[in-house]
Structures are given as C-alpha cells and as structure tokens.
Structure 1
Amino acid sequence: MLELRLAADGEDPGSGLALVRCESEGDAVAVTDVEREGRLVRARLAGLALEDGTWDVVSVDRSGAANPVLTRDSGLSLSHRADYVRRPRTRDLRAIRDPRGRLRLVSARVTPYAEVEWVEVAPEAVTVSGFLAYSPERDGVAAGEVVARQRGLGGVETAPARLDGGRFECAIPLPPLAGAFQPRREHNEWDLWLRLPDDGAELRLASHADDVVGKKGKVVYAGVDLAGGDADTAVRVRPYYTVRDEFSLLATARSGGAA
C-alpha cells in the first residue's frame, strides 16, 4: 500500500497514478486500485509486476500526461521500517525522495534473514540479538542454533540460540574460533547463520532494516585476544560487517605471538 497525504484538500491527483522505471525508459505500470478520502490517497501495489530497480511515482492527468509526484517527506521511519521488515514477504518496496524532491519506489526481491539489532562483545563470547526478517510469525519459545562457517577453509562451529516468537538471541563462544585459526590465511572470516528448529532453514545474520549501507567502513567493534591452536600464536577475534552488510566474525593473528 502506497499512502499519500496531499498538501491541500483541493489538490487534484489527476485521473490516476503510474510507476515509471528509472533504469529503462518506457517501462511503466499503471496503478489502477486507487482510493481517495479527503487529502489521503491510498494506492494498492499488491500484484503489480514490478521488476527490481527504482520507479518514479507519477500522476496521470486527465489528458493522459504524466507528471512526477513531488514530496517533502524523506520516506524514512526506523520504527515503521522495522515493522515492515518483520512481516513475511518476497518483495521489498521502499518509498524515497530523490534530490529533486520526486517520490520514488525502490523494488527488490528479498529472502528471509536474521536482522541483527544488538551486539555485545565479552572476553570469550559475542552475544547477538535481533528478529526474523521477511519470515512468518512464530509462536512460543524454541531452541535453535547459530552456525559459524569458516569462509573458504571448511571449519564449522555451532552454539545454542534462543527463539522467542519472532526474536532471537545467541552467544557465540570465541575460543573455538581462535583455536581453529589457520595461519596460512591472514584473515579467517566466520560467516554466521541462524538455524531454525522446525525445518532446519538457515537465515544469514545481517543488518538491513536501518537503511544504513556500507557498515563495513562505518561500524567498528572491539576485538578479543585469545590463544590460538598453535601455542605460539595469539588470535584476535572481532565482529564485523561484510560489503553486503552481513554480520560475521574475523580472526587474525596478533603480532608478537601469544600473550
């Protein structure tokens, strides 16, 4: 549902609305299910064939000419965004305002994942909590697992995870990751999944609901120094975000040997 609040009661929204794809001139989708109540216009978008990409929202006047819909609203509400991501869906639609004030929709196919909201680094564990994104609502408390996979090296570690409705929490022990450190690779990345108890589905841990992209260059977590599998090696393990804003752990050798 695209909900528009017009600037004035007397403003004429035209004979209808349409979406015009920015990446391909000429691609347009008519929005035919539109209702108006005073200054409020509701356009139902369910069932429209929207490809991935950015779409201009245009108003079609009575002569058939299309004019961009302008807005002063940035379209960003963190609370509304979190509520939206919590619901099961296969396509994500976001309203944005471009630098010229035009209203646009960003359309993208999505799959369920585990949204990371809170991270706490302790001497021997990293605790992570959040909620299930784009997933069906769950009832009650259940026991799942967090699965850590050593990227490109084959190591796998697991730890218990608690699910309560649509929320999850897990503590990832760090000594096993340090003990599995392979010095032939300078960086040992451990990618994290939440394994659900009912069907064994695995959801990648990531942070997308805040709309902050490029966290790898913006968010830095403290590291923990631990003994490696080699007695002469000290390993530092810290959380980090990948270039796709997925949540992982990074293990690197400390210079100077074990503490």
Structure 2
Amino acid sequence: MDSQPAPVARDDRAGEEPGQAEVEEVWPRDGQIRVVGFVPGDSTDAPAALVARIRGHDDGEVRAETVLRGGRFDARLAVRDLASVRAPAEQTWDLYLAPADRAEELRLGRHLDDIRGKKKIFTYPAQTERSVRVEPYFTIKDNLSVVCHGEAA
C-alpha cells in the first residue's frame, strides 16, 4: 500500500503576502494617522520607518520615522504629507513598515484576528487637508492603505 504524505496545513491567518506587520490600532485624528502594531515573531529593538507609497507609481513616497521596541511599533503619518501630492482626483497609498535591521519592507495589515473582509466591516473617519479627503481603510486582502480624494490638479 502506497502511503501519501500528510497534507501540510496552511495558516490562512498569516496573510497572502510575505513579510507582514500586524496592525492592532488605527487612529486618524488631529492631522495624523497613528498606526500601532507589531512584527509577528520579532522582539528586537531597532529604528524603523512607516512608509506610504502611491499604488502604481515609483515616485510617490512619504516616510515617518519610528522605532521597534520588542518588535512593537507606534507610528504617525502626517495627513498634510499625503494630501500634498496632488496628481489624480483619487490616489491610494499602501502602507509598509521598514525596520532598519531588515532588507525587505513589511506590508501593514491585520490578519491574525480571524476577521475576514475588513474592508466592509471597519471604517475610519476621514480628515481633510488642502481640499483633499484622506481616509485609511483595509483592502480586500486586509492590508492597510489610505485613499485620498480631491480635485484633479
């Protein structure tokens, strides 16, 4: 009798992209978007940056310095920085954590809580800067992004 290897269980909670930073809290207020979270399996202390990159463009990036303490981070992006890049009437910023001790950036998302479809469940208040509405949201992959709506330049 041929024996087949046992199927390998896949942990769907880990997300679909390699290198994730887990978001625990999102606080959009007072002209900032505050993001609190941790890097799963990491307990190091190191400088890091919260990176916002315009989806589909190589030239639009905003960085906010932060630090990892025991693998945890508490970072803030200024809404005015996201609103200052005025290209189309709508643009999306994807958020990453860039620890100084790692070569790759980690996509910010929320995957370890077993709640799927956050885009339809979680909503955050928008802030307005320079006639641009700036609003964080979870994507269909439960990653964290920010959408900016404004008048075309």
Same fold per superposition (TM over 0.5) = yes
What is the match of residue 150 of structure 1?
Answer: 54
Distance 2:52 2:32 in 1: 13
Equivalent position to 2:142, from 224, 240, 245: 245
Q: Deviations over 1:176-206 (max 9, x none)?
A: 11010213xx321000110011133210000
Shift of the alpha carbon at 1:147?
A: 0.9
Shift of the alpha carbon at 1:235?
A: 0.1
CA contact (8 A) 1:181 1:251 kept: no
- 1:181 is aligned to 2:86: yes
Which protein is bigger by CA-based radius of gyration? 1
Q: Deviations over 1:92-126 (max 9, x none)?
A: 278xxxxxxxxxxxx98873310000111112110
Greater relative CO, 1 or 2 (CA 8 Å, sep 6+): 2
- 1:130 is aligned to 2:88: no
What secondary structure, in the 3-state scheme, does the structure 2 residue paired with 1:176 have? Answer: helix
Q: Deviations over 1:53-103 (max 9, x none)?
A: xxxxxxxxxxxxxxxxxxxxxxxxxxxxxxxxxxxxxxx278xxxxxxxxx
Equivalent position to 1:198, from 101, 104, 107: 101
CA contact (8 A) 2:19 2:105 kept: no
Distance 1:203 1:169 in 2: 15
- One-letter amino acid of the counterpart of residue 141, structure 2: R
Distance 1:239 1:93 in 2: 24
CA contact (8 A) 2:46 2:101 kept: no
What secondary structure, in the 3-state scheme, does the structure 1 residue paired with 2:82 have? Answer: helix
TM-score, normalised on structure 1?
Answer: 0.52
CA contact (8 A) 1:149 1:192 kept: yes
CA contact (8 A) 1:216 1:242 kept: yes
Distance 1:241 1:110 in 2: 15
Identity within the alignment, %: 34
Across the aligned residues of Structure 1 and Structure 2, the Cα RMSD in angstroms comes to 2.5
What is the match of residue 50 of structure 1?
Answer: 8
TM-score, normalised on structure 2?
Answer: 0.85
What secondary structure, in the 3-state scheme, does the structure 2 residue paired with 1:220 have? Answer: coil
Distance 2:91 2:16 in 1: 30
**Structure 2: unaligned runs, 5 residues or longer:** none
Q: Deviations over 1:149-196 (max 9, x none)?
A: 01123311101122101211110111011010213xx32100011001
